[in-house]
Chain A
Amino acid sequence: MSYWGKKYVLGGEFIIVKILAVLPDFIPTEPVKQMVSQVLPDMAVVSSLDFEKNEAEVLVATTFHRLGRKELSKFPNLKYIQIASTGYDNVDLEYVKEKGIMLCNIPVANKQSVAEHVIAFILAFLKDLIFLNSELKERHNWPILTGSRDLEGKVVGIIGMGAIGREVARRLLPFGVSMIYHDVTRLEEEEEERMGLTYVELDELISSSDIVTVHVPLTERTKGMFNSNVFSKMKDGAIFINTARGEIVDEKALIDAVKKKGIRAGIDVYPNEPPDFTSELFRLDNVICSPHIAGVTIESQQRFLMETVSNVMRYVQGLEPLYRVLV
């Protein structure tokens, strides 16, 4: 197997960089190899980490392979891990820190996809699509009484105004909604005006919104932030959407809110993945679930690929890779 990349530096000296890309085994490697042959021709592409030792200096991986101490110790020369994904939960951060390995992710490729998924959840609830679909297909009902609602005129509360929060706001503006937001850092007033956003405290956002969508990272501060106290302040029948991280929500509190306050929940992420399918969450009519796939589209995968290739090339050129998580 050849996996010798070339790093060209000033003065014309060639420094050898060894690059290994490990793809999930469900991705056909041949088209990737053809592309790689034109981009970084000597980068090796494999589907498994089932080998004893590898000399690679750069490891490109997705979240589909566990990169624990056992796996990473097969790479004695490893200096840089590039995860082709936003998440990097599969990487043993302690080991990476201990060895001084640089770790980068790609946090910019799926914001559009997640934002569209949020809109899909909202419209599915407001237009009663799940109910109407089953009434027609399973019970052949016609006509059907429904509580279908317009998005226009609703108050949408966006928690977290990072890259994804902004994409959601940008897409919602033409629907004729009112948008309020909360974040630890407030936007510049000019930007708020341009985006049609009003900044409010969290409590006000929770109690004023017809739709609440969460876009905060998982931190000690946000872990379990949606508890029974918060849900109790939401409007009855409000829509709650979580495409961020499962641990942000107390699942039991959510189930209670769905049952007692008629909260409708669009859930893409779970505290444990795959989730516990015996949970009542999966039996509630007012809950629409998706399998942590909000950011996964054909288009976003293409963006991940290009951003990943770009970042590895920055390293090969002697530049600083972007999106450094560690070191």
Chain B
Amino acid sequence: MKGYELFSESVKSLHLLPMFGNPGTTELASLRGIDDYILTPYDGLAVAMADGLTQISGIPRIVNLHTSLGLGNSMGYIFTAKANRTPVVITAGQQDLRHIFFEPILSGDLIGMVGSNAKFSYEIKSADEIPEVMRRAKHEALTPPTGPVFLSIPMNVMDDVSSAGIPDEVRVDYSYYSEDAVEKVAKEFNDSKNPAVVMGWEVDLFNAFEEAEAFARKTGCPIYGESLPQRSPYRSESPYYAGDLLPATTLINLKLVGNDFILFVGGDITLYPYLPSPLLQGKKVAFVGLNIRPKIGDFYQMNVKEFLKRITPKVERKGNYHRQESYQRVSKAAREMQSIGTTYVMSRVKKIFSDYVIVDESVSASTVLREIVGYNPGKYFSAKSGQLGWASPAAAGMSMYNNKVLAIVGDGSFMYSVQILWTVKRYSLPVKFLILRNNGYGILKSYSTSYYPGMENKDYLSFTFEIEKIAESFGIESRVAGKDLQEMTWLREGENPKLLVVDVDRSIQKLFL
């Protein structure tokens, strides 16, 4: 077979399709045998779509980028896939190696460019190695900690002839745990006076919600969510759920001030604004998980579902935590009706889209979204990197697997990846977009008021985007919501893609100390 045939047969055999990309001349050589191709009219969107579909389906997908320039355009999205620990196989064409010495246009050091953002990167040297390289790429992506891998595919290799065979499917076993480690963690937990437990995104990854709830019921401890999780860390309806940690040392310390042992299960510490408090000083800290890489404390690499199943019979009751019912939301939502505050908007989302997968890039409204709409198994996704422009294409990718996907995105964020509307229309993807329009970068304004007062008034932090008209120009049905938000019901109806703009309260929220 020729190299391109080995490539396409390997991709099919490894179940990596559909392929997402935005090809150039350099890639045509490798794409001759690929038909199941989703075009995104900007390179990075292909990575985000593959990221989204991979996460929701649990099956790694493949991306095709246009050599050095397409790879460069996609770096932010690859960085996000790394932060999300999403096992996607990213490829890009490389110029014909027979004249690479002359540095032809579009050629470049792709391996150097992708750098540490891919956990494995390789430039294919010959057609003979295509099947085993493709197989290894998927294997590397799936090996904990999972993440994106990168392959550079020179044009000339695609026309080489080889007798290499097609690769077998990759299998990775994630069920590992250690009885000794479980015993050790159980002892530390039982020896502590007042432990706290922080659950993370791997609870969702391994669907360990029932095990997590059984653990909480047995111990009576409050269960916190890790700060800024990329997936649901716990069922937020549970009476044991005590809210998420916030992403700053001081705020984490204050939340856990009375606890002597902090157990992180399937999650890590995420920080954003620097605060000078030394993190969890004087406390015992332990992490359990498969894909996390903790910076402090002890680490036990285990599957969290297996861990929770095994530790629960061994732990003692340590408290009687039961979250107090909060009646605040309904009243606050009513108060915010006039100004269209985020509590009001999210209360409507919770009511109308309760069975939807939420892809969150509401940024300055995200805390309210997570608090009100909440976490449910397989129902919450966000970019762990903090990237803007990820949610819309990721949601589009997810909607290829689940026809109930709602992206909740700020107006500023939406404009980063507005071209995704073309792909959504072209492939009739059933994704719904809820755009929260506050005419500015709310998070930057909030940060300014806390740290650099006055900057919130800089004109470059404010803008007006007529997103409803932009959507129409792509052929996407769109509306602007009235104050009663009745249009949310319209947004939900049908399986055709739709976009709703809500003009939310523009006042600056206090989101930082």
Interface residues of A (CB under 8 A from B): 5-8, 34-35, 37-41, 194, 306, 309-310, 313-314, 316-317, 319-320, 322
Contact = CB atoms under 8 A, between A and B. Distances in A.
Contacts of B451: 314, 319
A38 B253 contact: yes
Interface in B234-284: 250, 253-254, 257, 274-278, 281-282
* Range of interface residues on B (Cβ < 8 Å): 10 to 19
B100 interface: no
Interface string B147-169: 00000000000000000000000
Interface string B280-319: 0110000000000000000000000000000000000000
B277 A40 contact: yes
Nearest to B282: A37
16 contacts: A6-B276, A7-B276, A8-B276, A34-B257, A35-B254, A35-B257, A37-B281, A38-B254, A38-B277, A40-B277, A41-B281, A309-B250, A313-B277, A313-B513, A317-B275, A322-B453
Nearest 3 Cβ contacts at the A-B interface: A38-B253, A310-B513, A39-B277
A310 B254 CA distance: 12
A300 to B, nearest CB: 15
Nearest to B335: A174
- Interface SS of chain A: helix
Contacts of A41: 277-278, 281
B248 to A, nearest CB: 10
Nearest to B273: A317
A158 to B, nearest CB: 19
Contacts of A8: 276
B254 A317 contact: no
A87 B257 CA distance: 30
A37 B280 CA distance: 10
Contacts of A306: 513
B254 A39 contact: yes
Contacts of A313: 250, 275-277, 513
Given A7-B276, A40-B276, A313-B250, 4 more contacts: A38-B277, A39-B253, A313-B277, A317-B275
Contacts of A322: 450, 453
Interface string B389-409: 000000000000000000000
Q: Which of B274, B276, B513 has the most CB of A within 10 A?
A: B276
- Interface SS of chain B: loop
Nearest to A38: B253
A38 B453 CA distance: 27
Q: Which of A34, A38, A310, A313 has the most CB of B within 10 A?
A: A38
Interface in B452-483: 452-453
Interface string B187-209: 00000000000000000000000
Contacts of A319: 451
Contacts of A37: 281-282
Contacts of B513: 306, 309-310, 313
Contacts of B257: 34-35, 38
Contacts of B250: 38-39, 309, 313
A6 B282 CA distance: 17
Contacts of B339: 194
B335 to A, nearest CB: 9
A35 B281 CA distance: 12
A132 B257 CA distance: 46
A37 B283 CA distance: 12
A317 B275 CA distance: 7
Nearest to A108: B510
A5 B281 CA distance: 15
A169 to B, nearest CB: 14
B271 to A, nearest CB: 14
A158 B495 CA distance: 53
Contacts of A34: 257
B253 A316 contact: no
Contacts of A194: 339
A37 B450 CA distance: 23
B196 to A, nearest CB: 13
A243 B117 CA distance: 58
Contact of A317 (B253, B276, B282): B276
A14 to B, nearest CB: 11
A6 B452 CA distance: 22
A57 B112 CA distance: 48
A7 B282 CA distance: 20
A316 B513 CA distance: 14
